[in-house]
């Protein structure tokens, strides 16, 4: 089989945590970044859309780092490539832009190697993506699609997919200003009260039930005691918006590390909730993406 020279990959946005499912639950969302990788004579990287003018255009670019790590795992030298990124996923908004970049690099590299998907199946690709990202809550839905539960064992990262109740829709409210994930995570305490941990475990389990068939439970199921309030100093406007939406009966949470807000709604409520976006925030009515990363 000849080695392909051009691969195009699309990867969905994702929202992690979903309230109480800290570092474990994730949901793929229906808008995508597209990455084109062409074997070339020298490294060349171009970026359109989000991140243009801000991200590195050398071998430290996140897609290229993931690409190189995958070639290394496959036992192949890293070829020079022409890398073109069309980014729709906003950076620094808690919508999985870094996970999409990592997954894009892995899937593209795997596709460039004949038989690559046999050597590096989705389980191995997920583990590599989780190691590059540091956790698997966003990379799992970005790679696999849908609603995922990610977890780590002695032999690496794993994830399982679950079907989302078709009555559930998602509205994401995206602020103009970004917040670095590292800054938001640095606010989390090293320890939490046992009562809070136990409450969150119950809510996370309830959230699985709510998303897969009991959407009437989403208000209770999206309560969080582990991370959202601790992030308030970095994103007070986000936390205030979550509080206001929940006071109106909308199951709203911080999307990932923030500062975007994700609200679960019924089909009839999409426009009403989107209209609650503060001035300067962009409302996005989104489907749950069921396909995950795709070679185009």
Q: Which residues are annotated as a binding site for ATP?
A: 90-100
Of 115, 124, 163, 156, the C-alpha closest to 143 is 124
169-174, strands of its sheet edge to edge: 252-254, 261-265, 169-174, 282-286
User: Residue 58 and residue 1: Cα distance in Å, rounded?
Assistant: 30
User: Residue 289 and residue 100: Cα distance in Å, rounded?
Assistant: 13
- What is the Cα gyration radius of the chain? 19
**Measured at the alpha carbon of residue 66, what is the angle toward residues 131 and 47, in degrees to the nearest 5?**
135
Q: Which residues pair with 170 in a beta bridge?
A: 264, 286
The pairing of beta strand 44-49 with beta strand 81-87: parallel
How far is CA 56 from each of CA 51, 53, 62, rounded to the nearest angstrom?
9, 8, 8
Given a contact cutoff of 8 angstroms between Cβ atoms, the answer to whether 174 and 284 are in contact is yes
Q: What is the DSSP string of 30-84?
A: EEEEEEEEEE-SS-EEEEEETTTTTS--STTSHHHHHHHHHHHHTT-PPPPEEEE
For tokens 């080695």, name the residue.
3
Residues of each annotated binding site: 90-100
């Amino acid at each position: 089989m000849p080695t392909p020279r051009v691969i195009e990959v699309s990867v969905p946005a994702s929202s992690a945590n979903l309230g109480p499912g800290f570092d474990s639950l994730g949901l793929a969302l229906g808008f995508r970044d597209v990455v084109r990788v062409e074997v070339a004579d020298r490294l060349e990287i171009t970026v359109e859309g989000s991140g243009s003018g801000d991200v590195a255009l050398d071998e430290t670019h996140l897609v290229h780092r993931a690409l190189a790590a995958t070639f290394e795992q496959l036992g192949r030298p890293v070829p020079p490539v022409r890398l073109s990124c069309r980014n729709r996923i906003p950076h620094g908004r808690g919508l999985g832009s870094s996970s999409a970049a990592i997954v894009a690099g892995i899937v593209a590299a795997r596709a460039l190697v004949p038989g690559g998907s046999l050597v590096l199946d989705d389980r191995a690709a997920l583990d590599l993506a989780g190691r590059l990202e540091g956790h698997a809550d966003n990379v799992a839905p970005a790679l696999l699609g849908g609603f995922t539960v990610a977890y780590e064992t002695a032999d690496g990262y794993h994830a399982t997919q679950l079907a989302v109740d078709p009555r559930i829709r998602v509205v994401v409210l995206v602020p103009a200003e970004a917040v670095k994930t590292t800054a938001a995570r640095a606010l989390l305490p090293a320890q939490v009260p046992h009562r809070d941990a136990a409450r969150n475990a119950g809510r996370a389990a309830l959230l699985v039930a709510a998303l897969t068939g009991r959407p009437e439970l989403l208000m209770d199921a999206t309560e969080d005691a582990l991370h959202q309030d601790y992030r308030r100093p970095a994103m007070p406007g986000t936390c205030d918006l979550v509080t206001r939406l929940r006071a109106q009966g909308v199951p709203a949470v911080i999307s990932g590390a923030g500062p975007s807000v994700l609200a679960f709604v019924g089909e009839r409520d999409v426009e009403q909730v989107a209209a609650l976006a503060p001035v300067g925030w962009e409302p996005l009515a989104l489907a749950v993406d069921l396909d995950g990363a795709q070679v185009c």
